[in-house]
Amino acid sequence: MKPTDIKPTDIKPIPAQSIWQKLGRLFLPRACPGCKRSLGEAQGVCLKCRELWQAQITDYSPLREVRIPHLVFLGDFTLELRRTVLALKFAGSREIAEVLAQILAPRVPAWWNITSVVAVPLHRRRQAQRGYNQSEILALEVAKLLQKPYQNALERSRATRQQAKLDKERRKRNVAGAFTVPSSLQGQISGNVLLIDDVLTSGQTLKACEHALLEAGATRVYFLVVARAKVFK
Ligand SMILES: [Zn+2]
């Protein structure tokens, strides 16, 4: 049928409700990013997945040689938690970040005496492409719950290759010196900083960020991530 053959009676009006239902599904996915079951009344992540995750504090990670508790995390980067982290990364959902922050933040011990919260930055180009930084979305929620200021204190001074594709030595070289504290914030960083990222793998990225923060005046750096991935050997 050519377009000219269509008579006005052939064109059926689309009920307004169906457009709104479609839009609603676009903006409010009602499936849990972790287990794909219906979210029900829950926001961001379903109640079953939330029950699975217990925030932990550990003294053992590639970030420290001395066994002092320094890292808060939820679990391994597998199954439901992995899918949820990827949803946070690629959808930038504040609702997911809120849920993760609600489980993680209460586990940050008072004795860490956190002064400010900082996120691992994306390179400017990647942030512009994506429109957000998933670690920052999470860090803002954690800062709110801890009632501490969030500081946009780090920038990625050069683009780096994806750490996941490199071996340990190359990872270290890839990120060494890649993070800096902008000159406007030099001397404005003090006390103990809580540094936040979505996934901990080899720890080289977090260590490079820690180095920049200490250089800029931080006393100590503690870490909070959603998930811990197996270290690439
Ligand atoms: Zn779920």
Domains (range + CATH), the chain: 32-228 (3.40.50)
CA 134 to chain centre: 4
> Of the candidates 88, 219, 212, 91, which has an alpha carbon nearest to the alpha carbon of residue 142?
88
How far, in Å, is the centroid of ligand 1 from the Cα of 219?
39
For residue 233, what pLDDT is reported? 43
pTM for this structure?
0.84
How far, in Å, is the centroid of ligand 1 from the Cα of 103?
15
How far, in Å, is the centroid of ligand 1 from the Cα of 121?
28
How far, in Å, is the centroid of ligand 1 from the Cα of 141?
20
For residue 15, what pLDDT is reported? 46
Q: What CA–CA distance (Å, rounded) separates 71 from 203?
A: 11
Q: What is the pLDDT of residues 184-217, one digit of tens each?
A: 998 889 999 999 999 999 999 999 999 999 999 9
Beta strand pairing status for 220-228 and 114-119? unpaired
